[in-house]
Amino acid sequence: MSYGPSEADGYGVCYNPLETKIIFSIACQHSCPSTSSNKFAKSLEQSLLQMQQVLNEDGATRSKL
């Protein structure tokens, strides 16, 4: 399943969180020069990896009392 963009210069995003991964579907209009589903996907991946790193670091520095 996927969602299309609701605006000509917007994105449509669908996600399915699973136990070990999250599946995303990203859509945008080809006719809009300011949108790119590939750039959106790369930025989303980088953001999620950074969040994972922060969460892993936070868990490693906590006291295990």
pLDDT, one tens digit per residue, over 3-38 is 788 888 999 999 999 999 999 999 999 889 999 999
Q: How confident is the model at residue 35, as a pLDDT?
A: 93
Distance between CA atoms of 36 and 49, rounded to whole angstroms? 20
pLDDT of 60 above 70: no
Q: How confident is the model at residue 57, as a pLDDT?
A: 86
Q: What would the two tokens of residue 12 be?
A: 């449509």
pLDDT of 46 above 90: yes
Q: How confident is the model at residue 2, as a pLDDT?
A: 65
Residue 6 or residue 1, greater confidence: 6
